[in-house]
């Protein structure tokens, strides 16, 4: 029986036609090719979200300034624009590098090397998720941004505050058009400060920022975070499989590590664009 199958296979491989089944399309295995196409479709999903963000941002007269919104870091650091999120980017870049190392050890069929570098990758991914959890908690619990309410506003005219908020703004402070503010939440209500407009002399109240900002932020970074989370789960499963010696017996060796590697680099790639769109621009 076995000899027959091998004979059939050799016969198949000797056939030349592209459709006769003897050749791999694009000289890539089925699994890797399908991973590439899955990632392409996923790239379109993310691009759709990010383009929607751009369209809504262009449709508003003002938009929250990222280096004002994202200027808080753990250990009581305030007024440090983009520092924490740069740290998060570095975590993903480093975990991408450890993933490349795991794939290389797979090519050498070095089981311990694969498991070691994959576990380092898991630590990087889990660290990123922890940072994101901190960032979300800060925005939701401390700054009270929600999917429907965005307390980050931008002044459209210059003026003078008629009251203070107990968070750095004092009565009599002046501001210019384009300056950012955060409406603080006290005792179950948003504390919108009253101010006198320099242009018309009218007494007005701070307004909420564009409503869609919170929904876009939580949805897009949440969707990316979900990709990171599922990546960590799959990395763990494949690291366990590798440690148990499963891939030693396989004909294609450590190809599973290569496939999860492709996915993991894609998660890093998407972060490059989320970082660009939400934080840098």
Partner 1 sequence: MADHHNYEEVVKKVYVGLGVLALVTLIEVFISLLGKGHIFESAKDMRWMLWVAGFLIIVLSAYKAYYIIYKFMHMEHEVPGLQVSVLLPTALLIWGMIAFFQEGGSWNARRQQIKDKNEKKVNQSVPLEGSIYHLPDDEFKKYF
In the complex with partner 1, the residue whose CB is nearer, 82 or 236, is 82
CB proximity list for 180: less than 8 A, separation 6 or greater? 64, 65, 68, 69, 152, 153, 154, 155
In the complex with partner 1, the residue whose CB is nearer, 81 or 127, is 81
Are 250 and 257 in contact by the 8 Å Cβ rule? The answer is no
Please, what is the minimum distance in Å from the beta carbon of residue 256 to partner 1?
Answer: 16
Question: What is the C-alpha radius of gyration for the chain, rounded to an integer number of angstroms?
Answer: 26
Please, what is the minimum distance in Å from the beta carbon of residue 1 to partner 1?
Answer: 34
Angle (CA) 206 212 216, round 5°: 130
Binding residues for partner 1 (CB under 8 A) = 26-28, 33, 36-37, 39-40, 43-44, 47-48, 51-52, 54-61, 65, 67, 81-82, 86, 89-90, 93-94, 96-97, 99-101, 104, 107-108, 261-262, 265-266, 268-269, 272-273, 275-276, 279-281
In the complex with partner 1, the residue whose CB is nearer, 166 or 178, is 178
Element (H, E) at 181: strand 180-182
Please, what is the minimum distance in Å from the beta carbon of residue 210 to partner 1?
Answer: 11
Are 219 and 278 in contact by the 8 Å Cβ rule? The answer is no
In the complex with partner 1, the residue whose CB is nearer, 95 or 184, is 95
In the complex with partner 1, the residue whose CB is nearer, 90 or 226, is 90
In the complex with partner 1, the residue whose CB is nearer, 57 or 211, is 57
Angle (CA) 181 185 190, round 5°: 80
Please, what is the minimum distance in Å from the beta carbon of residue 47 to partner 1?
Answer: 5
Strand pairing partners for 77?
Answer: 73
In the complex with partner 1, the residue whose CB is nearer, 65 or 246, is 65
Q: Taking each helix axis as running N to C, give the angle between helix 30-58 and helix 255-274, from 0 to 180 degrees, rounded to the nearest 10.
A: 10
Please, what is the minimum distance in Å from the beta carbon of residue 3 to partner 1?
Answer: 30
Please, what is the minimum distance in Å from the beta carbon of residue 160 to partner 1?
Answer: 20
DSSP H helices in the chain: 2-14, 30-58, 66-69, 83-107, 111-137, 212-243, 255-274
In the complex with partner 1, the residue whose CB is nearer, 158 or 162, is 158
Please, what is the minimum distance in Å from the beta carbon of residue 110 to partner 1?
Answer: 10
- The length of the chain is 281
CA distance 232 to 18: 38
CB proximity list for 254: less than 8 A, separation 6 or greater? 103, 106, 107, 109, 114, 242, 247
Are 57 and 154 in contact by the 8 Å Cβ rule? The answer is no
Please, what is the minimum distance in Å from the beta carbon of residue 152 to partner 1?
Answer: 15
């Amino acid at each position: 029986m076995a000899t027959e199958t091998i004979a059939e296979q050799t016969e198949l491989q000797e056939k030349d036609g592209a459709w006769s089944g003897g050749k791999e399309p694009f000289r890539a295995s089925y699994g890797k090719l399908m991973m590439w196409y899955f990632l392409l479709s996923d790239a379109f999903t993310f691009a759709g979200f990010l383009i929607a963000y751009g369209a809504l941002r262009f449709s508003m007269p003002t938009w929250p300034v990222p280096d004002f919104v994202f200027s808080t870091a753990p250990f009581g650091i305030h007024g440090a624009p983009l520092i924490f999120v740069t740290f998060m980017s570095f975590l993903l870049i480093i975990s991408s590098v450890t993933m490349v190392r795991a794939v290389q050890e797979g090519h050498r069929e070095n089981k311990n090397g694969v498991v070691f570098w994959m576990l380092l990758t898991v630590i990087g991914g889990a660290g990123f998720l922890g940072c994101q959890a901190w960032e979300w908690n800060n925005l939701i619990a401390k700054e009270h941004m929600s999917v429907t309410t965005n307390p980050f506003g931008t002044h459209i005219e210059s003026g003078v505050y008629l009251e203070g908020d107990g968070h750095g703004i004092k009565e009599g402070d002046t501001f210019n058009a384009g300056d950012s503010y955060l409406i603080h939440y006290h005792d179950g209500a948003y504390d919108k400060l009253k101010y006198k407009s320099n242009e018309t002399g009218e007494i007005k109240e701070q307004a909420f920022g564009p409503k869609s900002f919170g929904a876009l932020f939580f949805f897009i970074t949440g969707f990316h975070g979900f990709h990171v989370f599922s990546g960590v789960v799959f990395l763990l499963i494949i690291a366990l499989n590798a440690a148990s010696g499963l891939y030693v017996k396989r004909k294609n060796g450590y190809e599973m590590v290569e496939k999860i590697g492709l996915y993991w680099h894609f998660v890093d790639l998407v972060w490059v664009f989320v970082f660009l769109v939400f934080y840098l621009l």
